[in-house]
Amino acid sequence: MVVGRNIKRLRQKKGWSQYKLAEVSGVSQPMISQIETGDSDGTPATWRKIATALGVTISDLWKDDE
């Protein structure tokens, strides 16, 4: 899933673990893991929290650069 790949890429670009992103965003680490692996899409509220923590827009999370 595009959103999961992008979150993982952006998180790793910052040098953050899933736990660090969870801490900064307020989204649980298991939910971040589920989104990154494609087991869950998350919700708009979750995307907003993650995007804010990563310093990007929600639309950046959904860009398909492949």
Neighbours of 36 (CB within 10 A): 21
Whether 15 is covered by a domain: the verdict is yes
Whether 20 is covered by a domain: the verdict is yes
Whether 27 is covered by a domain: the verdict is yes
Neighbours of 55 (CB within 10 A): 9
Q: What is the phi-psi region of residue 38: left when phi exceeds 0, alpha when psi lies from -120 to 50, beta otherwise?
A: left
Whether 63 is covered by a domain: the verdict is no
pLDDT exceeds cutoff 80 at 3:
yes
Whether 62 is covered by a domain: the verdict is no
C-alpha 21/C-alpha 7 separation (Å) is 10
C-alpha 54/C-alpha 66 separation (Å) is 20
CATH code at 22?
1.10.260.40
Containing structural domain, residue 24: 2-56
Q: Mind listing the pLDDT tens digit for each residue in 17-57?
A: 999 999 999 999 999 999 999 999 899 999 999 999 999 99
Tokens of 5: 């790949």
The structure's pTM equals 0.92
